Structures are given as structure tokens and as C-alpha cells.
Structure 1
Amino acid sequence: MLVVSIALLVAIVGVYFIRYENASAQNSHLVFTEIMYDAEGSDTKREWIEIYNPTDTPITIIEGAGDGSWRFFDSSNHTLTLITGNALIPPEGVAIIASDNATFIAEHPSFSGTLFDTTMSLNNTSANLKLSNDKGATYFETLTYASDWGGAGDGFSLEKIDTDETNDTSNWKQSAYKGGSPGEVVIASSQPQNQQNTYPLPSSDESSPPPSSPNVFFPEGIAINELYPWPRDTEDEFIELANHTEQAIDISLWIISDSSGKKYTIPQQTTIPSYGFITLYREKTKIVLNNSNDTISLIFPSSKITSKTSYTQARQGISWARNEEDEFQWSKIPTPNVINVFPLPPYATVKADPLFADINQPITLDSTGSIGTILEWNIPDAPIFTTPKLSYAFSIPGNYPITLTAKNSIGETAQQSVTITVIDQSKPDISILIPQTKHTDIILSELLPNPIGNDKNEWIEIYNPTSATVDITNWAIGKEEDARNAYVISDQTTIAPGTYLIIPRILSKITLINTADTVYFFDAKKNIADKITYSESEEGASFARDADDIWLWTYTPTPGEANKFAEKFTPTPMSLSSASLEPQSTDPIIVDLSDIRDIENGTIITTEGVVTVQPKIFGTTQFYIMSDAGIQIYSAYYSTCARNTRRSSRDSDCRYISKRKRRAYHFFRNSIRNIRTHHFCAR
């Protein structure tokens, strides 16, 4: 039977649930319903408890030390002092008893109910709490809590589940939100199942929220799910809310607010279905989401914030969305009214084995570690292959650039290239091994997105790898594929062979985003001449192109100079006399040339191969050896042959045990592997 009279209904306009009579209710006094006993960080002045009137009769709390005055017990009795509100607690009314009223109000500014101040020191492990209405002679409410119930120093409170049941462990739980919900009590035993608002319709302004009441319960589970601050030209800003519960929830008269204080009240009869969404567009809310930074809050009609998110530096076409870990991140696919998606940025990595091959020798190409919904292999004079791994052979000697392109679901691409050198061992053409210019035009060379200190010191570097001076007048640099808002090199500008040009931010007005960004380089006709995408920059690190055309982060920015990466190996000349050939502490192991890449760094090995390029052709100590595979040896030093032996005139009769460093041709392409090198003669 409905027991709320018409007069009472007017007094509590805006109550979220109409309470139904519970015939089994046995309480005849106030009860504990929430405890903040171990706040996050320091507990000093931040402890409080919530008490609730579950009866049908108003109850007066008598403050002070006079006759019939109340006491709060936490190991000793303490008097109460009324700070705000009315000491007469109505049926279903709530009051807060705080250890320091000023601190409580500062941390809960939306609270507007009855507040008492007292002396309070709640034990963080376990304590027995009591209430008395006869100066501590007897106690009508008792609760013993323990830290294993929840709320132990993590910012959450303890909440009673059913106000009509006992204070057993099973009837208490940790709060759903940090800071708890002082002044809001869930009437679990009498709660209607459809979770519909029961606000009387306002007569004048249907969007006006109901009067704030500390006794109102608003359901949890509605959260801000996605913001779209900087839409594309044909789109509109929006704020999306999501229902994370199994029940439809009425959000009539809830409020959305931005950091400027602009508010939008959600109209009456607005419901979000179970696990559903509602998208509120700027045209309707009149809330303008800032592109630079903003904070959006979802607020109950009781003025309590139930969901809030903040962002900085929005980008066009990118939404601020909640992910599966319940955290917000930028998404390149705005998804109003549907589940948020976060496509991984594409990543291409290539492992080719061998890098130096004989004609018709199978070469294994492996994309393991790449990220993309589509993988495409581009091989000279061959069709496009889309398998993650393949084997291919070349019948003609030469240098063959192979490119792997990885694409994700939104069309972003990443590339990794590797060059295979094919030699006919029966008649090797040494000219094939002479490094060739990889580019025929100006390229991007280095970026500094996150300089130490002021970000206005960002810069972009371009480089001329060709053998001719290039006129770059009217070329442009920008961050959009169609060259919109690009910086145009309008002055007559040329760049000499092998030289660099720095474009500083103060000149280009191009801001490089620290988290992720793409830079495009356009020729005079605004065709894309080059582009590079990076992510997760670190302060002081530049993103630079290495000699193998691989972009890497380096903590040695080199504006206007050749890029620098890991510490380079500096060979130390050594004389390998017969004494140096004595057995070492670790005997060398015999390894086929094709298996060298699988040997642990620092291992002493013996290997055999045909010397296809002798020392002093590319460098004083560099040479190439091949068998089933090929490697380039750096800094090998010749010694005389052992006594009573004669050096053969055929290079194929010579074996090399490496004791120097060589380039490790694997998919990272920038690491150096240690191998020992000795040279001796075999008869």
C-alpha cells in the first residue's frame, strides 16, 4: 500500500523512488548507513559517518551535553554539534556526522543536508561504533566493521546494502565511487525494479531540475562515454552517455556541465536502455566543447557529480572515448550511439633471410610482429603478395628493394623496406655491392616533437640525398593529406646535394603532437613527396631516418647534420701473431654462415665462406663473404700465416673467425652483433 501522503509528496518533490511500505521493517531508530573510516591519503579531519531514519516517524537528534543529548561512540563517547540543516530527521531522512565539518563541506560541496560535527577517530583496521540518545547510558545502534569489508585506504567508503537488515558483514559493501555518496541512501528492500523517475512534472519550466534533497537516490551505472570536440566540417560536436547496467535507467533532469559552468538539463522522459547509449549533439545542448581542453561532468539533480572526464588538445576528427579498461583515450573513429573502437596504429616489420643471396636461392620474407588488417608485399617485377610469410627467389643479380605495407581498418599505413642483394657466385659482379642512392628527391630526415623545455622549439628537418641541387620553392610541409593549412616554402629556395634544411615551428606554425602525429612533405604541385607517422614521443628525443631508411627515436637530435643513433663501434687495430691464435678460454664453435644470426651475441665462432668482395674495395678492413647466405665483415685485420704455411692465392681457401663487429641484418636493422674475427689460412 502506498504510504506517502499528498502533503509529504509536496514536501519531497523530486524524490527519485517512492518508498513502499515494508511490513517486515523492525527498525524504530536511526541506523548507520555509510562510513568513511580510512580516506585515501591522510585521514586527519576527513572521517565521517552517515545515519538514516528508516522509520515512519520524525526523530530529533539533541546536540550538546544537556538532558537527553545524543552521543557518538568510537571508543569513547562524544557530543554532537549541529552545523547545517535541521536536527529533526524526517522519515527516510539522512544526517552526516563528521570529524571536521569544514573539511567535509570542502570535499563534498554539493551536500546540502543535515551535518553534525563531533570528535571522531575511526580505527583503520576494525572498530565498534555506537549511537546513544541518553548521554551514553545505553546504545540503540551498534556496528562493528573491519577493513576486509572494503574501503581500506583507497578512497572508497563502506555502504549498508539494506537499511532494514542487520549490520552483518554480508549487508555491507564498498561504495561504487571514490569519496562515497554521503546523503544518498539506496532503499534496497523497497526499490521498484523499473528504475523510473517519479518527479512531479514542473508546471512552468519542464527542464528545471527538482529541488536538491540529501534523501534522493539516483541509480549508478550511467557514465560519460565519448566526447567529440573537433568534428569534421560536415559533422557536429556531441556528448555520448552509456548505460552499463542490465536495466533501463531514466535520466530525466540530470545535468551536463562543462568547465565554464555552462549547463544542459536533460529533458523529462529520457531513458537509456540496458547497455545502451544516448548521444546529445551541440545543436541541442548548446554546450561548446573546447578544442584545447575541457572538463565535462554528468550531475545528478541532487547536485552530485556521477561521471566526469577531462581532455587536452583535441584533434579534428578524433573523439575522446572510454576504452575497455574504463579509461579515456583518443579514438580515430567517432562512434555515436555504438560501442567505442580503437584501431591499433599499423606497424610493419620485415625479417628477410638471407639478405645476400645467390641467384635462384629462396629468400624467406617474414612479417611476424607487424600490425595490420591487411599486409602487402611489394617485390620488383612480381605481383602483390598478402600472406604473412613467403619465399621468393631472384634469377638475375642485382639489388632488390622489398617493401611491406601494413594497413589498419581505417586505412592508415606503415611501411618497412629491406634490400636483397643477389649475386651470381660463378661470376660475381662487385659493382652490385656498391651502395646506391635510395632516393631521387628531397626527403624528410628528422623531427623533434617534444623538445626539452618549451615546445615552441620543435623543428622538422629535410634532406637532399641526391647528387644534384634541388629547387624546393613552393614545396610544403603539413599535417593533412590534402595539404590544407600546410606551410609553403614561398621564398626562392634550393638545397644542395647532401645538405639539410631545418623548418622551425616558429616559422611553419606547425605544432607536433607529443602522443602521435603524421607529417607530410609536398612537392610544388602538392603531390606527397614523403610522409612519416610517429607515436609516443619522449622529451628530448628526435625521430630520425637511419641509413637503412628506418625511422628510430634517438636522444641525440642533430639539426642540420647527419643523424646519430646508438654508439658506433670504433675498431682497435690489433696484430694477430701466432701467439694470438692460441686456444682461448672458450673454444670457438663451428657455425654455418646461414646460421650466424641465431648465435648469441659475444659467442666466438668459426665459419666458412667465399670472399666476394676483398678488403680495401669499400674500406680498408671491410669485406663480404658468402655461402648459402652472406654477411658483411667490418674491421678484420690480416696477420701472417702460421709458420711453415703459405697463403693460398684463392680467396675461397681462406677461412675467417670473426673477432670484430659486423652489421646484423635483421628486422630492427639498427643493432650490432658481436662476432670474433681471426683470419688464418687453410691448406
Structure 2
Amino acid sequence: MKPLFLILSFFVPISAQIIFTEIMYDLPGTDSPNEFVEIFNSSEIDSVHLAGWTIVDRSSSDVLVDSGFGLSIPPLAYALILEGDYNFSSGAYLDIIPTETILIKVDDSSIGNGLSNSDSLFLYDSSGVLIDSLGWTDVSPDGFSLERVRLHFPNESFNWIPSLDSLGTPGVINSVYPENIDGALVESSLSLSPAIIENGGTSTIIGRVVNEGLENFEGQIQISDNLNIISTEFLEILSELDTTSFEMEIGPFGFGEHGLSVSLLITDDSNLINNIDSINLGVRYETQLFRINEFYPKPTSEEPEFIEFIYFGEDSININNWELKDSRDNTNYRFPEKMIGPNEYFIVADDSSFLTLVPDSVPYIVPIGGFPSLNNSDDNIRLLDPFGTVIDSLSYDADFGYATGISTEKIFMDSLSHLSNNWRQSSAEIGKTPGYLNAVTPFEIDGTLISGLVFNPLYPEENQPFSVMVSVLNSGILPFLGALTISHFDDDLSEMSFNSGALGDTTFVEMNLPGFTSGSHQLTIDLFLPGDDNLDDNSWVDTLKVQYRFKTVSLNEFMALPNNDQSEFVEFIVSQDLNMKDWQFSDNQKSPVPIPDRMVYENNFVVLLSDSVMLNAVNPNAHIFVYEEGFPSLNNSGDAIYIYDMTGAIIDSLIYDQTWDIASEFSTEKLRAEFESNLKSNWIIAESENGHSAGEQNSQMLKDIDGALIQSLLSHSPQFPERSDSTRINIWIKNNGVQPFSGNVFIENDDDELGESSFSTISPGDTLMLQITVPPMSSGIHFLQIFLDVLDDTYWGNDGITDTILVSFPFGALKINEFLSLRDSNYFEFVELVSDTNLNILGWGLSDISGKVMTFPNLNLNKGDYFILSGDSAFLDLMTDIDAVQISETNFPNLNNGTDGIYVLDMTGKILDSLIYDESWPIIENRSTEKFHISYPSNSSKSWGVAVNESGMTPGAKNSLAFETLPEDGSINFSPNPFSPDGDGYDDILNMEYDLPFENSTLRIEIFDMTGR
């Protein structure tokens, strides 16, 4: 390789008109005297005279001398500087140099010190000014000059290249001087994306164009395929040495290798050599264009392995560079050039031993690089086109039917190669048929049912009509008219006649069938064909899977937080008889776990246990499946449960989270099995003693019909009715069951019906408020029984509630009759009450003005009975009938000495009697204040007086001041009168008897002694 060409550039005056244009520095053999330097006067008007000019290389300097042609160079003219001993009459350039060229010699026999492969030249004018300079390395072949390409371009390395002509172009335009118009495709710039495409596909061709001429041009790119123009594109105007790129989508293309020609079309282009380039596009051949028809993987020891192919294309094809592979990829078993015609066999063998067995018309190929040894047990056979496309392939094993010395033949030459049922062991006498029709050719008439019905839909719903697609292969040579029947047990469900296709064609017969019940059903398909030579493949049994309705099984209970004596479990209830074969369940990971194959029946419980810990705690009548491993663990905070039928359809599911009713050691039960499983309001924590009800009815299950009276919402108005008031009872009824109902409500008191009302239908989960008015009731506490009557109510425990109505007593039903409020430490405050009627005083009370209430016990009082209340138990010592005394040392209202009040309250809080006393009332220390008559108003001081009996009080007895009626006339009697208070025990005391028609009066009594004083 020659060293790189290097141009050394030196300072040149701007006014210089003379330039170097060509150097001949190396010729074959000796260079002398044939070295030359060509210079050019670039001025268009001025001649340049070279007298006194010198040329210098790196070693010496030479003066330019007149050799008989003068030293003046006309405008736009060339001059040659030759060695001093060059012979004009016989020199190497005698027939090359034009006559008008100015020939100049140097003043000795060599230019400088002789031009070398790596040298420099400098041209000076007579004043010693450097006019031009040039440096180079050896880039030109011997005998070829170094030429300047463009005279108007800088004197740089890219602008100097070797001449195209031997001996160069002295005195004339350089051989490398550009054409005026010269467009070129940039060398090696063409590419395809992609370089290999599918049949019928397109690609993009990419390239670059350069203007190698002197003038601007515009043109177009033309792409041809086998001389057919397939695409053109116009280019923008391109200036000198500028480049532009193009991208053109081309196609579509048929399979094979396409040599694409790219042409640059430019008007008046002087150089067409660089206007054309080409590139190859690969288009993959169609798969199955060749098909494997026979192979021989297990020959006898004397025989070669072989593979037979059939070509199914319409035009002859060259298989050059096609490749055969086995299971290995690092092989290179390629075919030589060989033309294969339509429908033609060709044999590829390990060697030529079988050549005599093959007809002369059948191509026989031994691949370049050898034959892939086929394994006896199993291997792959692959045919690849030149672009690596697998055209046909198979992976064989013992199912393909080969044996030692016997080939495997395809039954149908145009069938798919990879299906083992398309192949049979050769039945030929010699065990093989290379180049001939396979011995396992079909029967003349032979219809074959292809296994596997295609159901539409794949899994019909229950009772949904559906269709099946039956595939019938014509395995025989002749087409036929046949009939199909589909039966279920002995019932024919559908029959259809059809016409077959040609040999190897599959006919798809769609048949409509009625709906089936959910589950798996065996269908028998029979093919009836007159004259069928092979009945072995005329019948087939397939399984129809009809998906179950959603909630055919219903999730009913699950346990996510068991204790050590419990297991995680899932329970569901079956709504119809079914077989659990191929059923599954999962958690939210949806990795289904099989449910064991078992027949279950309507309303059966099925319990899936995570282990056997609580096996004995499950009702043995249930279907119990224990998973010692593989049970999908139920997360504590949230998870999901899915039940799948044999079709994979979700039959029931739920997704729970931390908001659901889930508790440790207790299962979560559904209120009703038929309720929606994924609604948390339909689930509740179990109430059974062992924390679950696995395998049996849920402890919290809602009844079919269950009406309930809601005790907590019961109310009545008014709250405390008077004896004359009717009472409105507000009764709330809830439907706790799953069916709507209507009914009646009854109200009773001591078996006496007080009211009744009917109500219209209440939907499940709804409530209804019913208002019943009961008539006035007597004063006291009344316990009303309220009953709900609903037809077929399955739970009576919530059909009755009670209401307690307190009917207030009339004012004066219990009256204040005596009280002691002013006392010393030897006496006790008390209040005496008297009943005006028979009554029970439970819940009644006594209060003073402070509001402090002393509550009465459960005590029955008859009319006229006394009832005494005190705050000191010592008071009982004064009483003979202690049953009528209520003592409360903490709650008795302390009676103030000066002013206070006394209030008697019935059980409703109603004031039945009251008084407010002050200093004006008849109140004396240690003596009670008594009412003159029980009927007198308690709050009038005139109704009261100070007790006059010896003890100063009469609790529990008739008041000392009491009277039945006031006398109409008054009288006063004294006895004895006169009396003698002298202490002799005789008439010492004066007794006064009076009857006064007043409750209170003041008597003036005058007592005189014996002298009248």
C-alpha cells in the first residue's frame, strides 16, 4: 500500500496568476529526463513573463530558461517546466504536448535536485516573491502524474490526485479535471431498510448524490428492478461538490433476490460511469413453498439418509444457496445451483448411493458442506431459503412411524409437515419411495373426522342453543357427498349433508344443536359416506361443557382468622345436583386449586378445609374436602374467594377487606345463601358456640318470612296520658326475611284487646311505622302486649313487644295530712300522706322545694290508708304499723324550719298534692302541723293547725284536730266553774269544752278570783 498523499500548503501572494497544475515526479525505470512541472496562467487578460523566475525543491534551486519558446505565458495558457536535458525531438511527451504549449527548461539537467516520491516545489518570481508552492507524498503509480483537479479551488491535498492517463496530460487540461456537468452516486452509500422483507412487503432505499462537475444541476433518481422502473424521485438543485441524500420507499416485491439498479439521471451529464449503482434486496419465500414429503432417518448400515421435497410454486426456481438444517444451528449445508420445476420432487441425500433408485428427471442433491445427520430417536428437519426463512420444518419422534430401513412418508403431500398424523411408515416393498409417489397414498374414497369439535360459543350457557363446527378431511382421492349426525346417547340431535373438497381439503360443517343442562355431556359424531374405503376414522366422541349459572353454588361461610383448634375454610351450598369434576376455587391470586371429583346434590353443603384440625367439628353430613397443602391462604385484612366451574367460569365470588365483619376465632356467615356474595352487608359474624356453623345452617341465617317488631323504636303519645286521654302507639315493623309479607298488629292489656291494625306488603329489609290508637285507661301502670301476626312467619321470637304506659292520677289521689318541720334533736321530721283511693305507689315520690325526690316503694294503699315518710329510722319506734312508713336517711327532703314546700308526685312526675309553708303557718317546735280535714286544700294555711294531743303529733292515726263536719252553732262550756286552783286536788283544773263553726278561731277567756278580780 502506498503512503497517504499529503499536500503542504504555503503562503501565496494574492496577485499571483501562475499556479502549479501537474507534477510528473516518478516514471517507470529512470525518471530523467522526463520529469516535468506544469504551470498555468489563470489570468483571462494578462500574459505573465517568467524571466528571472526560479523553481526550488527541498534541496536546490533552478532558474527558468528560454528553450526557444519564450518565457511569456499568454492568458489561460499552459507552460511546461522540463529538465534541462529533455530532448524535444525524441522525448517521452513528443506526441502528447500541444504545439501551443510554452516549453521552459531549468538551467541544469534536473528540476531542483530531481523530483522524488516525497518532495516540495516553490515557484518564485524575479523579485523573489513566492508565487506558488506544493508538497506531496507518493500517491501516484509509476508513470502517472499528480494532477490538480480544480484550478479555481485552493491548493490543498483534496484537490490533487493521480492522473487517469499514463504519462499524464502535459500542456492540456488535466485528465482529472471535472466535467462541466457530472453528477455521481456516492460510492458505497446505498443501503436498504430493511434489507430482507416479507413477500409483498416494501423497503426503503437510501443513498447519496454528489455534484462532481463544475456547474449546478438538477436531476432525478430512478430505481429499476430487472429493467422495470419501480420508483423515481426528483432531486433539488445541487451546487459544485455539494451532496444530498435520498430515501425512497419501494415495493411491494415478490419473493426471491431482487437486484435493484439505481440510476442518476441528469441532462447533459458528461460522465455516466458514476451515475449507476446497484444493491440486492432479499424477499423471503413463502412458507410451505417447498414441503417435506419423505425422510429416512434410520437407514441400514449400507444406505444413506435422505429427505424428499416437493415444490409447490408456479414457476421454476433456483435453489442455489438454500440450506438444510437439523436441530443444530451451527451448520452450513447449502444447496448448489439447481432449477426445480413446479410440482417437482427433489432429493437431498447424504451421498449419491441412491441415485439409481431415483428417476432421472428428479434432481438429486448432495449439499455443499455435507448432510445433517438425522438422529434415530428424534430430531428436526428444516429447509431455509437464502434469507434464513424456515420454509418447511418438522420435529419428529417415534410417533412419525419410521423404522430401520423404512422411511417415513407424508400421507398428503400438501399437508402440514409438523403434524405427526400426516405421516406414516412407508408401505413400499423396499421401504422407501424417493422420487416417486408415496406408497401411503390415500384411498379413493375416504372421509376422515378430524378430532375436536369447535363449539360456538365455546361454553354455552344452560339451555342456550349453540352450534358446532365439524371438520371433515377428504383423505381420499375423490370428492364425496356425505352426511353427519350428532347424537347424545341414543338421541339424534342434528343431521347435515355436505359436499367434500378435493383430496386433502377440510370441509367445515356447521350444525345447530339445542340447549343442554349445565354440566359435561358426551356427544357422538358419525360420518356416513357411501363407498368409504376406510371406516376407522368415521366416528368421534367429544365432550360438550355447558357452563353453570352464576350462583349455582353460593358462597355461604368462610373463616379467615382461625385459632389453633380451627382451620381456614370455605363453605358453599349447591342449588342443584352436579358433579364437581374439574371445578376449582382460588383466592385473589386467581391460581385455581382443584375441587375433588364428587357428585353433590341440591342443598348440599360443601366445606373446603385448609387442614384436618377441625375435621371433626364439621357436620359429617356435608361434603368435606381437606387440603393438607395447596389451600389458598385467606389473608386477615382482605382477600377474595372465587369458585369456578369446569369451564373456568366464575360461579360465585367475593372480595372482602378490613371493613367486613371478620373476627378472630369466628367465621363470617352469609345471611342467606342466595344473597349476593360480594356485598358486605349480606355477611355477619357467626354466633354459634364453637365460632362457626361449617356444614350446616348458619347461626345468623335470615328466614324466608320473618316479620319483626322493633322494641327500640316503639313510642306512644302523649307520654303520660291522663285518664281521659286516648294514646297513640307508634309501632315499627321490619321485614327480616327474604320474602315480602303483609299482616296485622294487635295490642292487648291483660288479655283485653285494645287495638288492631293491618298493613300492606313490606319488602325484604324494609321497615314500616304503624300507628294504633288505644282508648283511655285508668290511672296507673299499664303493660301493653303488642303482637305481630304474619302468615307463615318462620320465627316468632321477634313477633311480640311490650309497652309500658303510665296514666297519671288525678290531683288529690294522695294527700298531705300532717307534717313536722320544726323540731329539736329528740324529734324527727316526717310527712304523713293519706290515700284518697286504692292505688299502688311504686315510683311515686316526695319532694321539697329543692327538687330532691324521695321515691316510694312498691306498696299498695287502700282508700284512707296512712303513709308516713321520714329521714330517720328511729322514727319507726313511734309507729305501730311500720309497713306504712318509708324511711330514707339520704333522700328524705329536709324540711326547713321557716319556709319550704312539700310536693307529692305520682309515677309520671305529676304533682298530686303540694303546699308551701312559711312563718305565718301554724308551726310550733316539736309539734306537728295537722290538717283539719283531709279534703281541705293543702296549700292554705287555714287548713292546718298545731296538733293538740299530748304527744304533739298523730303519725299513722287520726289527726288530733280532725273533725268530720263543723257544727252549725257554737258553744263553750267550762267545768267545774267555779274552780279552785289551790292545789288541794279538788277542782284544781278548769276544763273547757267547745264546739265552734270555725276551723280557726280566737277565744278570749277571763278568769276571776273570788274577790272579782
Q: Do they superpose with TM above 0.5?
A: no
Which structure carries more relative contact order (alpha carbon 8 Å, separation 6+)? 1
Larger Rg: 2
User: How does the TM-score come out when normalised to structure 1?
Assistant: 0.27
